[in-house]
Structure 1
Amino acid sequence: MDTLLILLGLLLILAGYVWLIVQAFGRSLFWGIGSLLPPLALVFMLRHWARARHAIGLGALGCIPLVVGLTLLAAQDAARLEAILRLEWLHPEQPARPDLAIRLNGELNGKPFVPEQAELIDGVLSLREGEDFYAHREVQVRLLAPVDGPLRLDVLPDDPGKLPEVEVSWLAPGQDLPEAIRLTRGYSLHLDLTPEAPNRMKGIFHLVLPAQMQTTLSGQVELYTNHLRYRDGEVDTRHDSQDTLAYVVRDYLQRRFSRRDIELGQLPRLEIRHSKLDVPVSFRVGDEPQELQLELVKSETRGWGVQDDRYPKLPDLPPAPSRPSESALSVAPSRPANVPETGLITLQRLQAAPQRFTNRAMRVQTERGRLAEGVFVGLDHDGRLVIRHVMSGAGEASYILRPSEVVSIELLAH
């Protein structure tokens, strides 16, 4: 109804303007041509009111249904009215999410549904329209278990037992909180999804809710299986999500310790709106738990990263050496358990298990040729080596060395 009233009002206004131009041509050719421009048409209306008043009356009559139609539209769908007033209808419609192939036909709560986001994470399938905190319209299917592999599911209205829960929500005009309806049975659902690298699933989605809910969706969907996004085959660190931050931290730790077997603990919930974050990180290197305090920063070009990250890219690891035979094991010399290890060790080994070498005497040579000899205290929060050196007389000094300037590390016997 609102659309018809708006169209009727516009047609009456247009008809009144055409009538005004006809009257202007009846006065003279000059006025007729000039009235094709609205400013000169206004001048003609003021100079020749007797000729123009009937056309003006028709145009004014068209304003009545136009105003009524716009008022009804504002009450029902304020976002649509705003789009009309901003002349967005003059521009060709752009796909909401060109990176996801979503081709669904149907409606949600009696209105067309065009999802812009689609996910299947932790056993919850979500189709979402709108990128605000609360979706304008959303369909969620809570599966009975997380999905690991292909998914094929068929549910009919009369099926017994425990079934996936379906929730439909929508944000009504003028409301701050969405309305939602949950169903545990009485619906039809068909899913046939297959995984696609690196983090997507693709296939058929078919959902029919009871008739009074006016919700029917059918077609092809493509969904993300986590909150990572990829660009040219690499993780896009510019995307704001907890999964992105976890990836950045894990990659940093792997390069810092030159090991891929880093087990990262759960990161705290972070305010990703900020461009700098102080993050306490718990992780395990092999069997040894460790903790660090990292500062994550975001740049417009490179995305999220760790502050002062200068560690090189982790090289491809060589294949694991073959297991020696029993004869080789029997003749291989072994170090007595009570004799401490001495000699050269690698920086990567020290970084991987610093607790193992705490309070051990060592000599470190830097790239400038200097020697730092003393007792290894550990790594500080920036990953630098701290070596305590007892000076002659009372007092002691500490060497703090960056990993990038260390050339060799030698364990001493004393």
Structure 2
Amino acid sequence: MAGAMLLVGVTILVLGTMALMRDAAGRGHSPLVFLLPLVGLPYVQENWQDVWWAALLRVFGVALLLLGAGLVVARDPLVLEQPARLFGAGSDVVLAGSQRAELNTFVGSEEAILLAIRNDANPHLTGRINGRDFHYQRVELVDGVFSAQQGDGFIPELEVRILLTENPLPLRERKSIYVRPGDEHPPEVHLSWRNPGQDLPETQIITGGYRMELHLAPLDRYQLSGFMQLVLPDTQHSFLSGEFIASTNRLRYVNGNVDLSFDHPDTLNYLVDQYLAGQFPNGMIRQLDILDTTLRRREGSGTSRVRIALTNGRVEERVLQMERTDVGWVMRPGSATVTVLEAGEQGEMRLATAPRTVPARQDSVTEVPASVTVPFAELVRFSGQQVTVLRASGEPQHGIVRGMQRGRLVLETTVGSGTLEYFVEQADLVGLRLASGQQVTVVDGAPADPAPTPAAVPAPETVETTPVEGEPSPHAGLVGRMVRITGHDGRSRTGVLSAATATQLTLEVPVGSGTLEYYYRPEEVDALEQVARQ
């Protein structure tokens, strides 16, 4: 139709122009003035009674030319960059009566263009697939495969899968992909549908002869926004058109939240991403790379290996363990293995073992930096450093500062071949002692007992802690026995109750070949009961 409009427009324009040139020559004027736009307008106005019909022919011819050119561009936007496509360049010769000639009839028909145009303003991708109405419920773009699906089951009722020749991810700006019926080696299109009463789908593969316009734009870390117009050359006149939101992974959502019970490596990657985001302060992670994720459905477990680069130059590799529970996939507590690849600018991790290399008989001592006093919120600047935690309700503990979480200081300590993370409340924290011996006092923490400032770093072997006798505890009779303590957070731990005062309970939990001490304040304990030794 566009070609016919162009041909008729050119014909009428030439007839009108020739009539005006002939009239101008008969009146003694130069007929060449009508070869330039608007130059012959004064002559037409002066002799309107005689040449009005020729002028209208010329105007009508120009209008048909513009309308025909608009239809051509609407059908094939690439014609603006490749004008040769206007004459069918690049399209193969198709014999009359062949199957491809019959199928391609719909792709270039007026019906297909009108159907696509009607759906262009549709905020949801809709259309017709294999003679059935299509309304998308999920769109994915993973590993260079674009998939639009209808149906919530494991096998969708209707699906259009496009195997893009080039993976557009990661996407940082708007990207457009055009395919025309005459293009060589276009992306394959797979149509899948399930007929009523069938469990397995049927699939049709289309390797060319279709028309597609795909626009993609980044929306957030896991999603893209886009628009697609697809006209397929099948006998059922299948097409899609409209806007959509595409996921760049295979996460499943329930009521707007990620479904952690869905068994897929992307679910584990999301869990790892959320877990590590809570282990470090905002802006502390410079780069996070998930190197490998393994999901074992039969054992109900998973493993992920990640590499973390912090803003202070520290680079570490973690192996995280996950397990499947009744509520879905969760992190396995205390199972993280940390390998420090680079200690970073401050390097306190490597200095933590320095005192062990000093002979015991050496008379010289290490000068200790002056003590400092900081607010509790500024302790985050010591992230990644080996410290000794000075608490008001217990003995000193050693660990690595990992940041802040919910107003608590997060620390990490090594237990056997793994690591364990624990929290220290602001009201229970007196201060920190760095690996260099420097004392850090918390202004808004627990009050510290007056003590002289040490002049040198004491050897670890000579440090002795004298327990302070407290008021009697109602659980003093269970000291030395196996008990189970349940906190207000719902966590239960079983071990030997080694100490019990009115302000603190100490529980020794066997871990590997040693034990790990947990400290509870009485108001934190929801239940305490004696259990039999195993």
Q: TM-score, normalised by structure 1?
A: 0.49
Structure-2-length-normalised TM-score? 0.39
Question: Which structure features the higher share of helix residues?
Answer: 1
Higher relative contact order (CA 8 A, sep 6+): 1
Pair member with larger Rg? 2
